[in-house]
Amino acid sequence: MRSLLLLIEMVVLLPVSLVHPFVGVLLWDWIGFMNPQQISWGLASRFPWALITFIFTVTGWVCSPTEPKRVTVTPLIVLMVLFIIGITINMPFALSTPAVEYDAWLRTTKIFIFLIITAALLTNKHRIDALIWIMIISIGYYILDQGGASIVTLGGHKAFGPLNSQIYDNNAFAAAVLVLIPLTNYLRLQARYPLIRAGFALAIGISFLTVLASYSRGALLGTIAVAFVFWLKSKRKLASLVALGCTLAAILAFMPQKWWDRMYTISRYQTQGSAENRLYIWRVAWLLAKKHPLTGAGFHATRLPSVIYSVVPEGGPVLEIHSIWFQMLGEQGFIVFFIWLGMILFSVYETFVVLRLTRNSPDLAWASDLARMGQISILAYAVTGTFLPLSSWDVFFTILVMISATRMVVGRERAAARVASGQLTWHPAPVVGRFAGAGRAR
């Protein structure tokens, strides 16, 4: 039945994406974030839906008479292009096996190319909101599934993400949920009716429960950081403190003793094998970056004992690099690392630009809310990602594209308002560069 539903949905929506390519963007992200084919079985699970959607969307975008064909050149887009060029130049020098290197390169390249297309089509608030809804629905399915299982088992169930995805591991899934909680809160802030806002508040509570139900110690640290910044960013600090405090207290009281025993090991990290392994693989990644500063060792290179032993003669376990920072540094070298880091730092800067531009602008309050929540999502990724191999996670970089799109929409809205007030004369050609998206005005 699931297979039939998925097949019908794709047959209906793929032609629509030829006429309205942004529908293809939403469809691509739904397939990439939720992996519906993994839970559908049957005939529909065997089709390469992501590739098919990519072809339909790009074709629709190129042929559409109304959609913009020109990608506005922003610093984020420039950095994404440089990132693609960087990992492509590094590929021939990779120490990992050619098949592994090529597969990872192809997957990463497709993600960032489609992110650039997404940036071109993310032209207004309605599309930004639609993309957020797709992200919440896609991961929300697993939040309800895994959080519900935890409730039924009185906290005994360990939460995992979708099969064969970057966030299947319990630690990665917890990080993903934490990154998306601020976006759920953004939708709550935009809701008009109290009942809907209450529903979003309940969803946030279940999300926090799912994070802790992952039994991830890194996620606990991330939860503390996210809750604290949530409180700092809230407009009504006393009410937020009470709400967050009561929610987390109720969840912690719900968790069983074995969860507390697991969290207690944080204070004894010196004796924990997983902590020692992380410190060990971080050292390996740093040594690989020093030995290959321009190109790194390649995607998943530390899966090969020969690569490990080339920098650690005494040997050690063969592991993935569990840290977004060390993973990008060890696998791609310093140049690509700083390009990757630049994308994150520039996005943080853009959130502050949006907050400054929307100050005392009630019509743009939504953008201010999204910028504040975007800051919390970036923090959640930075904290939890310190212990996880998620340096090229598509959901996170989609959030960065949304932040950049919000900045451009705000620029256009402010320029249009100034034109309407007679302060400027309007020229329809887009501005390319720092103030992209505001239109050419003088």
pLDDT for residue 30 is more than 70? yes
Pair (201, 294) in one structural domain: no
pLDDT band at 422 (very low <50, low <70, confident <90, very high): low
Rounded Cα distance, 9 and 29, in Å: 15
Q: Which of 250, 271, 292 is the last residue of a domain?
A: 271
Q: What is the pLDDT of residue 429?
A: 42
Pair (213, 335) in one structural domain: no
Give which of 430, 335, 392, 436 is closest to 107, Cα–Cα. Answer: 392
Q: What is the pLDDT of residue 267?
A: 56
Single-letter residue type at 381: Y
Pair (157, 262) in one structural domain: yes
Q: Which of 67, 83, 102 is the last residue of a domain?
A: 67
Averaged pLDDT score across all residues of the chain: 87
Pair (254, 155) in one structural domain: yes
Helix (H) or strand (E) holding 278: helix 273-291
Rounded Cα distance, 275 and 349, in Å: 33
pLDDT mean over 60-84: 90
pLDDT for residue 255 is more than 70? yes
pLDDT for residue 442 is more than 70? no
pLDDT mean over 93-116: 94
Q: What is the pLDDT of residue 439?
A: 41
Q: What is the pLDDT of residue 435?
A: 38
pLDDT mean over 281-301: 94
Task: Return the SS3 of 319.
Answer: coil
Token code pair at residue 348? 């943080």
CB 377 within 8 A of CB 343: no
Tens of pLDDT, residues 123-173: 999 999 999 999 999 999 999 999 889 888 888 888 888 877 888 888 899
Question: CA triplet 35, 142, 204: central angle to 5 degrees?
Answer: 135
Backbone angles phi, psi at 426, to 5 degrees: -100, 135
If one counts the domains in the chain, the total is 3
pLDDT band at 416 (very low <50, low <70, confident <90, very high): confident
Alpha helical stretches, state H, 122-267: 125-152, 170-190, 194-213, 217-233, 237-254, 257-264
pLDDT mean over 301-322: 88
In a domain, 415, yes or no: no
Pair (264, 129) in one structural domain: yes
Give which of 326, 277, 275 is closest to 297, Cα–Cα. Answer: 326
Pair (86, 148) in one structural domain: no
Pair (266, 277) in one structural domain: no
pLDDT for residue 424 is more than 80? no
Q: What is the pLDDT of residue 156?
A: 84
pLDDT mean over 337-351: 97
Pair (325, 299) in one structural domain: yes
| Winning range, highest mean pLDDT, from 56-65, 156-165, 414-423 | 56-65
With pLDDT > 70 as the criterion, what percentage of the chain qualifies? 93
pLDDT for residue 33 is more than 70? yes
Q: How far is CA 333 from CA 161, 293, 305, 320, 381, in A?
A: 30, 5, 19, 16, 21
In a domain, 434, yes or no: no
In a domain, 363, yes or no: yes
Q: What is the pLDDT of residue 266?
A: 65
Pair (205, 89) in one structural domain: no
pLDDT mean over 78-83: 97
In a domain, 237, yes or no: yes
Q: What is the pLDDT of residue 199?
A: 93
Single-letter residue type at 301: A
pLDDT for residue 437 is more than 60? no
Token code pair at residue 153? 């088992």
| Cβ contacts of 399 within 8 Å, gap of 6 or more | 135, 179, 183, 374, 377, 378
In a domain, 134, yes or no: yes
Q: What is the pLDDT of residue 431?
A: 40
Backbone angles phi, psi at 162, to 5 degrees: -65, 145
In a domain, 260, yes or no: yes
| Cβ contacts of 372 within 8 Å, gap of 6 or more | 233, 351, 355
In a domain, 408, yes or no: no
Q: Which of 223, 256, 271 is the last residue of a domain?
A: 271
In a domain, 435, yes or no: no
Q: What is the pLDDT of residue 441?
A: 39
Q: What is the pLDDT of residue 48?
A: 87
Pair (332, 394) in one structural domain: yes
Rounded Cα distance, 207 and 187, in Å: 14
Pair (129, 262) in one structural domain: yes
Q: What is the pLDDT of residue 37?
A: 80
Give which of 168, 182, 181, 183 is closest to 214, Cα–Cα. Answer: 168
pTM of the model: 0.89
Tens of pLDDT, residues 217-239: 888 888 888 888 888 877 777 88
**Segments forming the whole domain that contains residue 140:** 125-271
| Winning range, highest mean pLDDT, from 42-51, 273-282, 330-339 | 330-339
pLDDT band at 426 (very low <50, low <70, confident <90, very high): very low
pLDDT mean over 427-436: 43
How far the first Cα of the chain sits from its last, in Å, is 58
pLDDT for residue 63 is more than 80? yes
Q: Out of 51-65, 83-97, 383-397, 410-424, which region has the weakest mean confidence (pLDDT)?
A: 410-424
Rounded Cα distance, 28 and 398, in Å: 12
Pair (196, 96) in one structural domain: no
Q: Out of 70-74, 114-118, 376-380, which region has the weakest mean confidence (pLDDT)?
A: 70-74
Residue 81's Cβ-count burial label (10 Å; 0-12, 13-18, 19+) is middle
